[in-house]
């Protein structure tokens, strides 16, 4: 299963490593017909650090601990990215987006990012997001959109997650409206490594139909956070 996922998402990950900006176009091409190579598998293995084994925590203790970590200011946040909840928090989750157009949804998510303290300039990052959309849609299909951008207006790598229950037109190539939307924000001075980690996490989980359905079925931000918390790039299981 994991090799199959890597086959679908190998090209965009290589594109990230090469600092190619149009990552999502490679992403779409990979869905159409990319094949896993031994080189790619070895490359990803090198990028995944082993997980230290410690005393087990209950799920409630782990959730409280992680919520405490992600609520730190951007300057205090650990640079290590192992799961989505390392770069998001409850304030960056909206399970009932109100916007009826792509740009309205983008603006909603930008407000959350700005209020959480991850931006130096909301308008500055908005320019990067819209410019990327003009280069090619970030609606990758399967009711998923991943608007993203690198900008000097971003302080730290972060992800905003939003749900648009009835969908919004994102000009996706498969014709589906976007319902699960992940906005990736990365400082312009960053290399491709942050994009690699974030896309690796997303790619593993979003190809799982049951995971997508579970996200769409959440009733609270806490439920969504718990699901995203399980998106660990260091594990190969579902």
User: Over its length of 238 residues, how does the chain's per-residue pLDDT go in tens digits?
Assistant: 434 444 444 444 334 333 344 555 455 445 443 333 333 333 333 334 444 444 444 444 444 444 444 444 444 444 678 788 889 999 999 999 999 999 999 999 999 999 999 999 999 999 999 999 999 999 999 999 999 999 999 999 999 999 999 999 999 989 999 999 999 999 988 755 676 778 778 888 888 999 999 999 999 999 999 999 886 654 444 4
| Number of Cβ within a 10 Å radius of residue 38 | 7
Residue whose C-alpha is closest to residue 111's, from 62, 217, 183:
183
Specify the number of domains making up the chain.
1
Characterize the bridge pairing of strands 148-151 and 93-94.
unpaired
Residue 177: which CATH number? 3.40.930.10
Q: Is residue 224 part of a domain?
A: yes
> pLDDT, tens digit, for every residue of 21-31?
455 545 544 54
195 is catalytic: no
pTM of the model: 0.68
218 CB-contact burial (10 Å; exposed 0-12 / middle 13-18 / buried 19+): middle
Q: For tokens 């969908």, name the residue.
A: 167
Contact 149, 194 (CB under 8 A): no
Residue whose C-alpha is closest to residue 224's, from 204, 197, 205:
205
Q: Is residue 197 part of a domain?
A: yes
Q: Is residue 12 part of a domain?
A: no
pLDDT score for 192? 58
Question: Cα dist. 142→83, 119, 160, 167, 197 in Å?
Answer: 22, 29, 19, 11, 21
Q: Which of 148, 204, 229, 233 is catalytic?
A: 148
Q: Is residue 132 part of a domain?
A: yes
Q: Is residue 126 part of a domain?
A: yes
Name 125's Cβ contacts closer than 8 Å, sequence gap at least 6: 110, 113, 119, 149, 151, 153, 154, 185
The beta-strand segments (E) located in 78-177 are 93-94, 139-141, 144-145, 148-151, 158-168
What is the rounded CA–CA span in Å between residue 36 and residue 190? Answer: 27
pLDDT score for 54? 45
Q: Is residue 21 part of a domain?
A: no
Q: Is residue 187 part of a domain?
A: yes
210: tokens are: 């049951």
What is the rounded CA–CA span in Å between residue 30 and residue 68? Answer: 37
Q: Is residue 18 part of a domain?
A: no
Range of the domain at 79: 74-229
């Amino acid at each position: 299963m994991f090799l199959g996922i890597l086959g679908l998402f190998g090209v965009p990950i290589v594109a990230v490593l090469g600092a190619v900006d149009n990552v999502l176009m490679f992403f779409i091409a990979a869905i159409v017909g990319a094949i896993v190579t031994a080189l790619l598998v070895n490359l990803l293995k090198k990028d995944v650090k082993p997980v230290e084994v410690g005393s087990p925590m209950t799920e409630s203790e782990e959730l409280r601990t992680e919520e405490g970590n992600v609520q730190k200011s951007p300057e205090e946040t650990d640079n290590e990215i192992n799961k989505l909840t390392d770069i998001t928090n409850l304030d960056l989750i909206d399970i009932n987006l109100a916007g009826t157009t792509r740009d309205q949804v983008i603006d909603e998510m930008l407000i959350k990012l700005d209020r959480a303290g991850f931006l130096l300039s909301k308008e500055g990052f908005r320019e990067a997001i819209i410019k990327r959309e003009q280069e090619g849609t970030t609606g990758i299909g399967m009711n998923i959109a991943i608007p993203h951008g690198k900008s000097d207006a971003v302080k730290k790598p972060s992800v905003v997650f939003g749900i648009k229950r009835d969908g919004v037109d994102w000009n996706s190539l498969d014709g589906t409206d976007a319902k699960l939307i992940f906005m990736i924000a990365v400082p312009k001075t960053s290399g491709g490594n942050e994009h690699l980690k974030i896309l690796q996490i997303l790619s593993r989980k979003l190809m799982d139909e049951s995971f997508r359905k579970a996200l769409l079925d959440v009733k609270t931000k806490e439920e969504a956070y718990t699901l995203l918390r399980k998106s660990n790039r260091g594990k190969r299981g579902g």
